[in-house]
């Protein structure tokens, strides 16, 4: 698999995002899916995927703490691109146990509590969605945070045990919004009110012009800890399977 990943990175090094998607959707032939958070980058990818192969499996997560605008966007996106977007929900019993033991807003108390909440509301559901898949597509960009600065177009995802494809990895935020405006793609209106990165409501806030892109996410934590467990990156040759 390491050799295949290296070959794909070499093959796709100068490819456009659409060319990356066309290649991997064909190569992984029904064993690839797209995980959308309904963010700006993911809306771009949904538009591209719908044009290439609208039957590609797309899913999103309803954590139970999302903004209403995010929930509305799911329906608007389905209608705009005529695609199916499966919505996954956390296990009620696990959420109930966590909240009763640690409180409704446990995530403000420690990184450990916040990661527990993210795991129950997000990671477990993604793990379920990836069963039987060989690859998944994400909207990660190097510009987004220090934890993503060294990622490639194609990575081995150690956490989930499959290939991760990042078609927009080298895109700038300006490129994302240029594509959205040019193609009239629906997006979360919170982006027009200072929300540059949108997650769960209690863990997301607007930022000031010039602030770091993800400074409004888990703003009480250090920048190098701001991942929820879906995109943990280990820069190591040993992270690839033989």
Asked if residue 66 has pLDDT above 70, the reply is yes
Asked if residue 242 has pLDDT above 60, the reply is no
Whole-angstrom distance, CA of residue 142 vs CA of residue 235 = 14
Q: What pairing do the DSSP bridges indicate for beta strands 162-165 and 85-88? A: unpaired
Residues 117, 107 contacting (CB under 8 angstroms)? yes
User: What does the pLDDT read at residue 224?
Assistant: 60
pLDDT tens profile 98-132: 999 999 999 999 999 999 999 999 999 999 999 99
Asked if residue 219 has pLDDT above 80, the reply is yes
Residues 43, 186 contacting (CB under 8 angstroms)? yes
| CA triple 207-208-214, angle to 5 deg | 40
Average pLDDT of every residue of the chain? 90
CA 20, 86, 133, 241 dihedral sign is positive
Enumerate the active-site residues: 228
pLDDT tens profile 21-65: 999 999 999 999 999 999 999 999 999 999 999 999 999 999 999
Whole-angstrom distance, CA of residue 221 vs CA of residue 212 = 13
User: What does the pLDDT read at residue 237?
Assistant: 40
Whole-angstrom distance, CA of residue 180 vs CA of residue 37 = 16
From the number of C-beta atoms within 10 Å of its C-beta (0-12, 13-18, 19+), residue 213 rates as: middle
From the number of C-beta atoms within 10 Å of its C-beta (0-12, 13-18, 19+), residue 229 rates as: middle
Structure tokens at 143: 């510009």
Please state the rounded mean pLDDT for residues 134-154. Answer: 83
Is-above-0.75 flag for pTM?
A: yes
User: What does the pLDDT read at residue 149?
Assistant: 63
Whole-angstrom distance, CA of residue 105 vs CA of residue 109 = 8
How many Cα atoms sit within 13 Å of 157 on the Cβ side? 23
Asked if residue 209 has pLDDT above 90, the reply is no
Asked if residue 226 has pLDDT above 80, the reply is no
Whole-angstrom distance, CA of residue 209 vs CA of residue 194 = 8
Asked if residue 88 has pLDDT above 50, the reply is yes
Asked if residue 140 has pLDDT above 90, the reply is yes
């Amino acid at each position: 698999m390491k050799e295949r990943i290296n070959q794909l990175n070499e093959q796709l090094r100068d490819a456009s995002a659409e060319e990356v998607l066309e290649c991997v959707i064909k190569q992984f032939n029904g064993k690839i899916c797209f995980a959308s958070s309904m963010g700006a980058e993911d809306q771009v990818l949904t538009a591209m995927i719908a044009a290439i192969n609208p039957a590609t499996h797309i899913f999103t997560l309803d954590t139970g703490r999302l903004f209403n605008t995010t929930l509305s966007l799911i329906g608007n996106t389905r209608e705009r691109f005529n695609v199916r977007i499966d919505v996954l929900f956390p296990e009620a019993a696990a959420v109930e146990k966590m909240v009763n033991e640690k409180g409704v807003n446990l995530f403000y108390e420690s990184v450990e509590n916040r990661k527990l909440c993210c795991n129950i509301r997000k990671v477990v559901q993604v793990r379920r969605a990836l069963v039987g898949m060989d690859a998944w597509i994400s909207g990660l960009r190097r510009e987004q945070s220090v934890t993503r600065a060294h990622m490639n177009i194609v990575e081995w995802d150690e956490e989930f045990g499959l290939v991760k494809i990042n078609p927009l990895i080298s895109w700038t935020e300006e490129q994302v919004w240029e594509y959205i405006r040019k193609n009239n793609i629906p997006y979360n209106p919170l982006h027009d009110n200072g929300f540059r990165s949108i997650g769960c409501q209690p863990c997301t806030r607007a930022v000031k012009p010039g602030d770091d892109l993800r400074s409004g996410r888990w703003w009480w934590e250090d920048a190098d800890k701001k991942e929820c467990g879906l995109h943990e990156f280990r820069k190591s040759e040993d992270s690839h399977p033989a």
